[in-house]
Structures are given as C-alpha cells and as structure tokens.
Structure 1
Amino acid sequence: MKTSVLVVGGGLAGTSAALFLAWRGVDVTLVEKHPGSSPHPRAVGFNARVGELLRAVGMEDRLPPSRMTKGFGVRRVRAESLVGKRFDETFWTPPAELSDIEYSPSTGVGVAQDRMEPILRDKARELGADIRMSTRMLEFSQDADGVTAIVQGDGEPYEIRADYLVAADGHRSPIREALGITRTGRGYMHTSRSVLFRAPLQEYLKDGIGQFVIDDVGFLTTYGDGRWVLMLDDREYTEPELREKIVRAIGRDDLEIEIITTGRWTISAGVADRFSAGRIFLAGDAAHTLPPSRGGFGANVGIEDAHNLAWKLAAVLNGESRPELLDTYDVERRPVASLCHQQIFARNDGHNRGTDPEDAPLYDNYAMHYGILYRSSAVLGAGEELPPAQRPEQWNGQPGTRAPHVWVGPGKSTLDLFQRGWVLVADHPEWEEAAQQAGVQYERVEQLDVFGLSEKGASLVRSDGYIAWRSTDLPNDPSEVLRAAFSSSSAGTR
C-alpha cells in the first residue's frame, strides 16, 4: 500500500502527528505495536500551548480544562503524609509574577495520558487518518524518493511505501538506533517503582496542591480522576507491602484502596543529535527523553514537535514549499528540546539527586509555554543575540515567536485566525492589496501594538501560528517586500 506519511508509534507524539497531518488533508497511516494505551497513565495534564493546538483542530470542547494554578503550574509540597503536617512548598520554577495579561484563550488540558491518547486517535480517524493498532514495523529502508516499511498485524507481513516517515517509537527508538543517531545529555539517572491506585481522596486537593513528597515513603501525586500514583525506590514489593506504603503516604488506614497496576521506570535524559535523516524525522521521546518534572516537558514538547513537523510536511507534499522547508524542523525543534533539558536540571526538582542544579538562567512557565524563540530560514529577523525564551509581552511580536493572543471578537482570539495557512496581520489597505497579490490570507487587526506594530506595519504569520517576518512601517513597495519575505520564509514554489 502507499501513503504520503507513515507514522511509527501511537503514543502522544505519534498520534498527534497523525491528527495534525490528517487535519491538513495529508494521507497518513499510523502503525502501533500495542493494541491500546498503557494501563499506567504516565503523563497527566497538558499545558495551555497544547490546548491552543487542540483548539485549532476543534477539540477544545472534548477535553477537561487543566487544574494548574495560575503562576505556579502544578504545586508540590513536602509532607509527613497526605493528611498530616505539611512543610515547605517547592516550585518547578520560582512562582511567576502574576500579571493582568491574558496569554492564551486556552487553559490547558486536565486529563491523563491513557485517556488523552484514545481521544486523539478518535479525532485523527474522524479526519481520515488510517490508524492500525497491534501492528509492528519489522524493517524499513529509504531512498531518494521515499521510505519502504515492512509491517505486520494479525496476518502476514506487508509493505507500506511512504513519501516520509515520522519515528515516534519511544525513548528506545529502534528507528533512531538503526539510523545511527546518537544522543547527548545526562543519560541514565535512576530507576523507580510505582503503584497506581484508586482511593477517595479529593478532599485533600482543595488548596490546589497536587504533588506530595512524603518523608521516608516516596512521591505521591494525583491524576485528578480518583486515581493516584505513588513512586517508590526500585525493589520488588509484595501487595501487602504496597498497601502499607500507600497507607503511610495517605496517613489513613480506614479508606478503601484499589490497587490498579504497578510499574518500573527508568529515568534518563538525552536529546538526539539530529532530528532527521533523509526522509525520516524523529518526534517525541524518540527525539528527546526529558525526565518527568513539573515542567511536563516530555509530553508537551512531543506534541509540539508533531505540530511543527505536520504543517511543513503538508506544505511540501501539496507543492506549496520546496523540500528545504523540512530542514527547519531540526533547526527549530532541537534547540527547544535542549533548552528543556537544561531547564529541568537548572531546577531543584529531585532529578539532580545530591548534585547542585545546573548553573543556567531560569525561564518561568509563561516564557516556556508561550515564549520559545525559533531561529531558522523560515524566520526572518531572529538574531543570535536574542534569548531562547521570554514572556510574550517582552517579545512584543518578535519574528520567530508564537503570534500573541488578544481577543478580536466575542470568544474569538487572534490565535483563531491562524494555522490554516499563511496570514498577513495589518490594518492598512496597501497591505491588504499586497496580501492579495502574494496569495496570502489578510486579517485586519486593530490591536497591532501586541504585534509590536504601528498602524502602517504588518506581520506575516506562518501556518503554525509563529511569526515569520514583520515590517514595522509601510515600505515603498509593500507587494514586492511581502512577496520576497513570503517566498524566503516559506521556501515557496510560487
């Protein structure tokens, strides 16, 4: 069979890639060796930037809002037990200075990974993605024209021919290993055990704290749906021992406790030294293993990988852009993963384990969620002198950053104007004419100050909602200037 894009791996990054590609009309096939999601929920909660991406594809109403506390993220405290004395509160970053600025129309998503993945799969299928569970890729090869994979489901092996392949096959990634792509980072750190259980403990979450470091027991956190996980030292535990640990962590022995499953987790950190090789692209844990932390970097960054790659693959496959556009995937996303790796170890988040935190500047939640900077040939005007992240109001519409949010109508954000194609934001008739001549959608926005523009300026926003270029004033020939900027940043064929 033939497909435009073959995705290998049906976790969050792979399923998101299939979703975003199908939403853009790309013929996409996904194969996943497991029959469904892991019984252990793993990630829980997704940041507001991911909420924005799912809002764009029409999923916002299907997902519960995040429980994150404004300015804090998910709050964590050290305690003698869940019901016992609480001591110092620790922070993923120093608490952000609260601001009256509204950064996003989205609140993030409060759902566990094992429930998020089926929702994403259902939406991807609804949009036309061919998703094949219980199907394992046995081997692959690539040539100048595409990728050939041999896969097997319940029957005999068969061949899939694709123009491109997205490897979202996990942190051990057989595809990455076969390509000979190495990784850089902290490497192996430690191994932990976990027990997932259900208990009626919602009353202890009323103050907004959802993570508890329990003295002499372990780390306790909630999935927000009646399920809790207790992380323990790495050794074998009998069921009575697990129940004893749970009771000590809770501080009560009079509750009904249902043990659901257990897990063993290898905690490591590393970023692939390349995110692509020919027609094959790494995404999610295959590209970067980022330890679980209050940043939630692993899952969120993987979904954002998929989003960045999807619009570029769509543009190349439909003939709007030259293949050179795909080179910007590695250039844009790998620095983000490296920054996240640095930020995890710059925080006193338990991962340093007796060593001092890495000496690096800290970027708060608002900067890491909304203010990451891209530098690539698909961005004009993002110099090396600029920091890797800032809050949106500090960027003020800087090319290479996410287009800022401001309401432009009842329930309608500037972000709702983007992601279907390239958009020119301005409020001047000459720019409107220039947009028509360049074949770019024009959106009249009166609040140009949040884009760092005067009434004669304009910003060109890419198909992923990132600013590619801006002109702070009206040039002598707006049409020609816009045409050149669009052709350069989009690797355009027209």
Structure 2
Amino acid sequence: MTVKTSVLVVGGGLAGTSAALFLAWRGVDVTLVEKHPGSSPHPRAVGFNARVGELLRAVGLDEKLPPSRVGKGFGIRRVRVSSLVGERFEETFWSPPAQLSNIEYSPCKGVGVAQDRMEPLLRDEARRLGADIRMSTRMLEFSQDDDGVTAIVQGDGEPYEIRADYLVAADGHRSPIREALGITRTGRGYMHTSRSVLFRAPLEEYLKDGIGQFVVDGVGFLTTYGDGRWVLMLEDREYEETELREKIFQAIGRDDLDVEIITTGRWTISAGVADRFSSGRIFLAGDAAHTLPPSRGGFGANVGIEDAHNLAWKLAAVLKGESRPSLLDTYDAERRPVASLCHQQIFARNDGHNRDRTPEDAPLIDNNAMHYGQLYRSDAVLGAGPELPPAQLPEQWNGQPGTRAPHAWIEPGKSTLDLFQRGWVLVADHPQWEEAAQRAGVTYERIEQLDVFGLSEKGASLVRPDGYIAWRSVDLPDDPTDALAKAFRKSSAGTR
C-alpha cells in the first residue's frame, strides 16, 4: 500500500502538529505520523507568547482555548526562596525591567496552557480541517529524489509506504532525520541532566502576587502549570517515592497538604541550532531545527510553532503553483537567524542556564522586541538590508519590510492583524493603489492607520500571507501598478 500526500510531517509535538494545522488550514493535503499514542503525561512547555496567540487567532482556535493568566505575568516572574511559603529573597529578571509604555502591541495575550493540553487542541483542529493524523505510527526509513520523498512507516500492522512532495521533520531534538541528512549543529551543546517530579497540590494561594517560578534554596526549581499541577526539578539521581514526597514538602515548606504524585521525568538540557534548516525537499522544524533550553522567553515551543507557520504558507504557495520552489529557500534564510538570536539571548540573560559557563557577551534585547520585532532578511523581503538590527520594538521599526505587520485597532474588536494571513494583502488608502492591487491579483485593504506602517497618506505596504511586510512604498510612485507588480513578483517568487 502506498499513501500519497502533499506534505508528510514526522513528529506530533507542538511544531509538527502546528505544521499540520497551518497546512490543513491553507488547504494542503497533509499527513502526520507520530510514534507515541498521545501527548507525554509530563508536560514540558507551559505558556505561549502573544505572537503564537495571534497565529491561533487567525485560524480560529483562540476561542477554544481555556482562560489564560499569562497576560498578567503569571508563570514568568522568578524569585529565590527558602520555600514556597517561606522567606522570599531577590527576584531574578529575565531582562532589565522594560520602561512603562502605553503602546499595545497585540490584540492577543499569552496562552497559559500546558503542552499536554495544547497538543490535543491543535491535533483536533488539524483533523477537523482535513489533516490525516496517524498516532502510534513510526517512520522506519526515508529517501528523497527530485520529485518527492518516500517514507516507510509502521503502525499496528505491516509497514507501508507514504509518498509526499515534501517532508517536515519535527521529530525532536535528537531528530533521526536530521542525523540521517548529516546536518550538524552549533551552540552550547550538552549542559546538564535533571530529574523532575510532576505533582498536584492546592497551592493557588501562593500565586496571588504573579510569581510562578521559585528557586528553592537547597532543594531545586519549583514551578506551576497554572492548572493545579506543579513540577519540581531536582539533581540527577534515583529517588524513591517517599524521598520525592519529602523533597516536595521541603520545597513547599509544609507537609499538611494532599499531594498527588503524577509522574516523574529525566531531562537532558542542551542547546544547539542546526547549521541548515533544509535539505532538498526536507525541512527541519521545532526541536529538530533548534534545541533551546527552557527559558522565560519561551523560545523553545514558541519558536517551533512560528517555524511551522513560516513554512506552511510557503509550501502551500509552491504546491498550488502560485510560487516557484525557490520561495522555499527563504525558510532557512528567515528562521535560522531567529533561532540563533534566541540561543544568544537565552545565554545573555540571568535565566539559570549560565551555571556551567560564562554568560553570552551580547546586548539584551527587550522582550517585546523578541516577540513582535524580529527581522527577516531573505529574497521574500525587499528592503531589509544587513545594516538593520536583528530585532527592535515595533514602534522603532514603524512598518519596516521584513517585520511583522503592526497591530492597530480598525474598529472595536478588529485589529489590522485580522486583515492578514489568508493571502497577499496591500494596505493603502488611495484609489491608484486599489487599481494596482486588482491588476496584481492581491487583496486590497483600505485603512486609515497608515502611520503605524510608516506610510504617508499616499503610501502602501504589501503584506505576506504570514503577516510579515514584504515591501512598502512610503509615498505614491509614478507608476504604482508597475511598482507593485514587480515587488509582488519578486517577493512571492511568483509564477505569474
């Protein structure tokens, strides 16, 4: 038996499931295989940033998410303590406290959902949109040629073949696919190994001040998933259950509570970024592309989901014949520098990962700049030169091509961001641009908030299907139709 599909995704974690979701949402025939029957009972990531919230809002998933407390700083602030109920000492900041600002960067807030709760939401929505998701199915081998990728997989029965145009490798930080392709990694490498115990206890009263992470002197690191579950990270050795309970009570500072031990784990903490994010028709995403240790920037899971989003629209455009395959080269050009920047920022900050080596000597970049203001430089962007910094606040970019289109309210409940992500959009407020958009075959959106895009009243911005600005004309050129046509053809690798 041979199953034919446009895109095969290997790995059903956050990045892989997101890839299946975003591809299916764009009408791409996608099949996902995952060797496990479901999500890990020990959640890893908790808390997704507002940029991921924007991506989920675009596909209509935001309304299905449980209420979040992350928007109030919950789970991000960290303090050293004698115990959860005991004396509190200094707070360690992820980066220097930002200056107060009345600028609203997004219509979304962070998403406070643990990974083992988020993955099924993504899976169910991907299935609803038509993705073929096959759990308990392992890929045994793969090969690629000029026309596609062939994988041999096995579920409960005999092995069978899947033939795909492209393959997305989201098979984790050890990534057998990456290893088979001979793609090396650069970064800090192995750092340390930790043990963990996941437990449930009624401790909500100790979270009222918005602190959700606790470095407990003499015990370990204690944090919450915001749903009644907590995890205590300990040194790497074997523990009996009675000793685990003692450690939990010591970390809490009291032993009169009902504590349910759910499961335990052993975690290898390492850091590295793949030296290539693609090889032929195969693309790395998530931990397969970049292993980034847990941080308050949320750079592991969030960056992986954004990988999937960046890749999905490009695969969709090429598969539908709207763009040449060269558009896919921009995936590595855009996402690998982002991963490298996140790696740098993790080790430039006081976030608990510099105990083995000295901190990275690099300037700290504001959190909002990292979430909303990273710059893409590629052939799919016109006017993002090497002289520009890798990230800035949105108001500093002011609509710079290569950056995420800025948020502004058009009307109550409707953001400029709600205009994007389905296809190519021209933002302007002038009749000549409307005619130019019609001739180019892009959607025209007339808005009055041109100042946040850095445009005059006669200017225009061309926004890609992922909500990033591909090109802009600050004012009206002599021939707007020709200017837009050339910009669109070049940035989209267009076939028309």
TM interval, short-chain normalised: over 0.9
- Please report the TM-score for the alignment, with normalisation by the length of structure 2: 0.99
8 Å CA contact 1:405, 1:414 repeated in 2? yes
Distance 1:115 1:71, change over 3 A: closer
Q: Secondary structure at the match of 1:200?
A: coil
Instruction: Find 1:393's aligned residue among 377, 392, 395.
Output: 395
Written as runs of structure 1 = structure 2, the 5 A alignment for 1:395-474 is 395-474=397-476
Residue equivalent to 1:35 = 37
Query: What residue ranges of structure 2 are gaps of 5+ in the alignment?
Result: none
Q: Which amino acid aligns with 1:371?
A: G
Written as runs of structure 1 = structure 2, the 5 A alignment for 1:4-153 is 4-68=6-70, 74-153=76-155
Matches of 1:349 and 1:71, distance apart in 2: 16
Instruction: Find 1:320's aligned residue among 302, 319, 322.
Output: 322
Residue equivalent to 1:157 = 159
Matches of 2:482 and 2:95, distance apart in 1: 45
Residue equivalent to 2:207 = 205
Runs of 4+, deviation exceeding 6 Å:
none
Question: How far did 1:356 drift?
Answer: 2.8
Matches of 1:154 and 1:360, distance apart in 2: 50
8 Å CA contact 2:72, 2:210 repeated in 1? no
Aligned CA-pair RMSD: 0.9
Matches of 2:22 and 2:345, distance apart in 1: 28
Question: How far did 1:53 drift?
Answer: 0.1
Q: Deviations over 1:100-155 (max 9, x none)?
A: 01100000211000000000000000000000000000000000000000000000
Question: How far did 1:67 drift?
Answer: 2.4
Q: Secondary structure at the match of 1:77?
A: strand
Matches of 2:73 and 2:144, distance apart in 1: 47
Matches of 1:108 and 1:493, distance apart in 2: 38
Q: Secondary structure at the match of 2:156?
A: coil
Matches of 1:147 and 1:73, distance apart in 2: 42
Question: How far did 1:350 drift?
Answer: 1.1
Instruction: Find 1:292's aligned residue among 294, 302, 316.
Output: 294
8 Å CA contact 1:69, 1:208 repeated in 2? no
Matches of 1:12 and 1:68, distance apart in 2: 19
The answer on 1:382 being equivalent to 2:384 is: yes
Instruction: Find 2:285's aligned residue among 279, 283, 286.
Output: 283
8 Å CA contact 2:70, 2:111 repeated in 1? no
Question: How far did 1:354 drift?
Answer: 5.0
Question: How far did 1:98 drift?
Answer: 2.2
Instruction: Find 1:332's aligned residue among 331, 334, 345.
Output: 334
Distance 1:296 1:73, change over 3 A: same
Instruction: Find 1:227's aligned residue among 229, 238, 251.
Output: 229
- Please report the TM-score for the alignment, with normalisation by the length of structure 1: 0.99
Question: How far did 1:380 drift?
Answer: 0.2
Q: Secondary structure at the match of 2:37?
A: coil
8 Å CA contact 1:399, 1:466 repeated in 2? yes
Question: How far did 1:66 drift?
Answer: 3.6
Matches of 2:105 and 2:63, distance apart in 1: 19
Q: Deviations over 1:34-80 (max 9, x none)?
A: 00000001100100000000000001111134423557981000000
Instruction: Find 2:243's aligned residue among 241, 244, 248.
Output: 241
Q: Which amino acid aligns with 1:12?
A: L
Matches of 1:109 and 1:102, distance apart in 2: 17
Identity score, percent: 88
8 Å CA contact 1:316, 1:323 repeated in 2? yes
8 Å CA contact 2:8, 2:168 repeated in 1? yes
Matches of 1:396 and 1:62, distance apart in 2: 32
8 Å CA contact 1:73, 1:365 repeated in 2? no
Residue equivalent to 2:268 = 266
Q: Secondary structure at the match of 1:390?
A: coil
Residue equivalent to 1:482 = 484
Matches of 1:448 and 1:70, distance apart in 2: 30
Question: How far did 1:484 drift?
Answer: 0.1
Q: Deviations over 1:402-441 (max 9, x none)?
A: 0000011120000000000000000000000100010010
Query: What residue ranges of structure 1 are gaps of 5+ in the alignment?
Result: none
8 Å CA contact 2:75, 2:224 repeated in 1? no
8 Å CA contact 1:71, 1:96 repeated in 2? no
8 Å CA contact 1:14, 1:284 repeated in 2? yes
- Number of equivalences: 494
Q: Secondary structure at the match of 1:310?
A: helix
Instruction: Find 1:190's aligned residue among 177, 181, 192.
Output: 192
Matches of 2:5 and 2:79, distance apart in 1: 49
Residue equivalent to 2:374 = 372
Matches of 2:151 and 2:29, distance apart in 1: 16
Residue equivalent to 2:304 = 302
Distance 1:71 1:204, change over 3 A: closer
Q: Which amino acid aligns with 1:96?
A: A
Residue equivalent to 1:360 = 362
8 Å CA contact 1:381, 1:399 repeated in 2? yes
Q: Deviations over 1:332-364 (max 9, x none)?
A: 000000000000000111111153311101111
Matches of 2:417 and 2:388, distance apart in 1: 24
Distance 1:367 1:351, change over 3 A: same
8 Å CA contact 1:372, 1:401 repeated in 2? yes
Q: Secondary structure at the match of 1:408?
A: strand
Deviates more, 1:95-104 or 1:373-382: 95-104
Matches of 1:327 and 1:211, distance apart in 2: 40
Q: Secondary structure at the match of 2:273?
A: strand
Distance 1:73 1:336, change over 3 A: farther
8 Å CA contact 2:168, 2:282 repeated in 1? yes
Matches of 1:71 and 1:402, distance apart in 2: 23
Q: Which amino acid aligns with 2:392?
A: Q
Q: Secondary structure at the match of 1:6?
A: strand
